[in-house]
Amino acid sequence: MSARQRRIGILTGGGDCPGLNAVIRAVAKTAMHDHGMEVVGFRDGFHGLVMDRRLLLHRDDVSGILTRGGTILGTSNTHDPFRWAVRRGGKLVYRDYSARALANCRRLHLEALVCIGGDGTMTVAGRMLAKGLPVVGVPKTIDNDLAGTDQTFGFDTAVQTAAEAIDKLHDTAMSHHRVMIVEVMGRYAGWLALHAGVAGGGDVILIPEIPYDLGRVCECLVSRSRRGKRFSIVVIAEGAAARGGKLVVARRDEASPEPVRLGGVGNQLAAQIEQCCGLSTRVTVLGHLLRGGTPSAFDRVLCTRFGVKAAELVAAGRYGRMAALRGGEVVSVPIRRVAGKVRKVPPGHPLVAAARSVGTSFGD
Ligand code: F6P
């Protein structure tokens, strides 16, 4: 590859979500059309950066992908160049491969690396920046828990998917006079459960930021039953916990920078509800279903705006910044102010208040 050609790199890191391809398309098209740059895509997030697994993106590669779920580059939420897990004698040991990642970028004469991801990806991007790699970020995640932006892309689509699932569960809940528990992802933040719960008319919404009381949850369900509403919808975030209780962990992935994988709180709650108030209860865990599918129209627009912004930041040499949505405007914020922070639902958030006004219980 010639040193004179303007060239940037791009990768998608962390868990996938709808809209990744729409961002890749917007970054690449803007970089190619408006700035005459070549775009090198690294495969599977930081794995490709360290192992130098990449492809040169051509116009045709980034055409026709606006509506496609997943990522044409692949991703990984288990590879951190600064804490690279390798097996030695059956044991996991950790190595720092960040110099290798930096050397790969320098050899390719990349002007900058666009990192599309959540807080894990932004944390690594921030550390690579400190090592001298010019980076620009784009905020992704269905969890909507990234600091510095009012919204991440992928969230709107995940809310829509969850709301559609809740609508269907409503039907069967009514027919069988059951309590339907819907467990949604979101890690340590309740944005997804809150928005999906409000959109789906959930009777009870349980989020990590508002610890619940089993007695209160049961009171709400029983009082609905007494009023002739012989079914209820409970939307619970995977990170929700009873007051004084513990997070329910589904598994640990030790190779991952963040080893804890949440899941299972819905089943735990169902058993407790049946025991406490004898109401027939079923559980649906939406899980990874929320990460797939074509992005919503809102996300397609947001992804396009974010991607164009990221390419412009690179072209203007404004490195170390992440595209962000603030009050409807796409702006940029320093990555170092975002990295390592989790944006949670303030318990007094207007949407929590609105949900309470229409009779939704938060189990508190
Ligand atoms: O951060 C996105 C997310 O889907 C979380 O909501 C969830 O807790 C986690 O990733 C699941 O990770 P994995 O795909 O490794 O199971």
Mutation choice for ligand 1 from 122, 142, 252, 285, CB with most ligand atoms inside 8 A:
142
Q: Which candidate, 82, 109, 119, places its Cα nearest to that of 344?
A: 119
Atom of ligand 1 nearest to the CA of 253: 15
| Predicted pLDDT of residue 263 | 98
Measured in Å, residue 111 CA sits from the centre of ligand 1 at 31
Burial of residue 277, with CB atoms counted within 10 A of its CB: 0-12 exposed, 13-18 middle, 19 or more buried? middle
Backbone angles phi, psi at 325, to 5 degrees: -105, 120
Q: What is the pTM for the complete model shown?
A: 0.97
Burial of residue 328, with CB atoms counted within 10 A of its CB: 0-12 exposed, 13-18 middle, 19 or more buried? exposed
Containing 21, the helix (H) or strand (E) segment is helix 20-35
Which residues make Cβ contacts (< 8 Å) with residue 114, sequence separation at least 6? 8, 9, 10, 11, 27, 135, 136, 137, 138, 310, 311, 314
CA-angle at 257, arms to 255 and 259, nearest 5°:
65
Measured in Å, residue 138 CA sits from the centre of ligand 1 at 18
Pocket of ligand 1 contains residue 77 by CB under 6 Å:
yes
Mutation choice for ligand 1 from 71, 119, 122, 143, CB with most ligand atoms inside 8 A:
143
Which residues make Cβ contacts (< 8 Å) with residue 282, sequence separation at least 6? 178, 179, 180, 181, 270
Please tell me which residue in 143, 145, 156, 203 is annotated as part of the active site: 143
Atom of ligand 1 nearest to the CA of 118: 1
- Of all protein residues, the one whose alpha carbon is nearest to atom 8 of ligand 1 is 187
Mutation choice for ligand 1 from 254, 261, 289, CB with most ligand atoms inside 8 A:
261
| Predicted pLDDT of residue 203 | 98
DSSP letter for 361, please: B
Pocket of ligand 1 contains residue 29 by CB under 6 Å:
no
Beta bridge partners of 117: 139
Q: Which candidate, 286, 245, 288, places its Cα nearest to that of 269?
A: 245
| Predicted pLDDT of residue 257 | 87
Backbone angles phi, psi at 208, to 5 degrees: -60, -35
| Predicted pLDDT of residue 2 | 64
- Of all protein residues, the one whose alpha carbon is nearest to atom 3 of ligand 1 is 15
Do residues 49 and 104 lie in contact, with contact meaning Cβ atoms separated by under 8 Å? Answer: yes
Six-digit token string for 268: 């735990």
CA dist 356 → 149, 227, 363 (Å): 26, 18, 11
| Predicted pLDDT of residue 3 | 60
Six-digit token string for 237: 């975030």
Q: Report the C-alpha gap between 82 and 126 in whole angstroms.
A: 12
Measured in Å, residue 134 CA sits from the centre of ligand 1 at 28
Burial of residue 104, with CB atoms counted within 10 A of its CB: 0-12 exposed, 13-18 middle, 19 or more buried? buried
Exposure of 319 in the CB half-sphere (CA atoms within 13 A): 17
Rg of the chain over all Cα atoms, to the nearest angstrom: 22
- Of all protein residues, the one whose alpha carbon is nearest to atom 14 of ligand 1 is 15
Atom of ligand 1 nearest to the CA of 185: 6
Which residues make Cβ contacts (< 8 Å) with residue 120, sequence separation at least 6? 13, 14, 77, 80, 257, 258
61 is catalytic: no
Where the chain has pLDDT below 70, the residues are: 1-3
Pocket of ligand 1 contains residue 291 by CB under 6 Å:
yes
Pocket of ligand 1 contains residue 78 by CB under 6 Å:
no
Containing 56, the helix (H) or strand (E) segment is strand 54-57
CA dist 201 → 162, 197, 291 (Å): 12, 6, 22
Instruction: Indicate the length of the chain as a whole number.
Output: 364
Burial of residue 327, with CB atoms counted within 10 A of its CB: 0-12 exposed, 13-18 middle, 19 or more buried? exposed
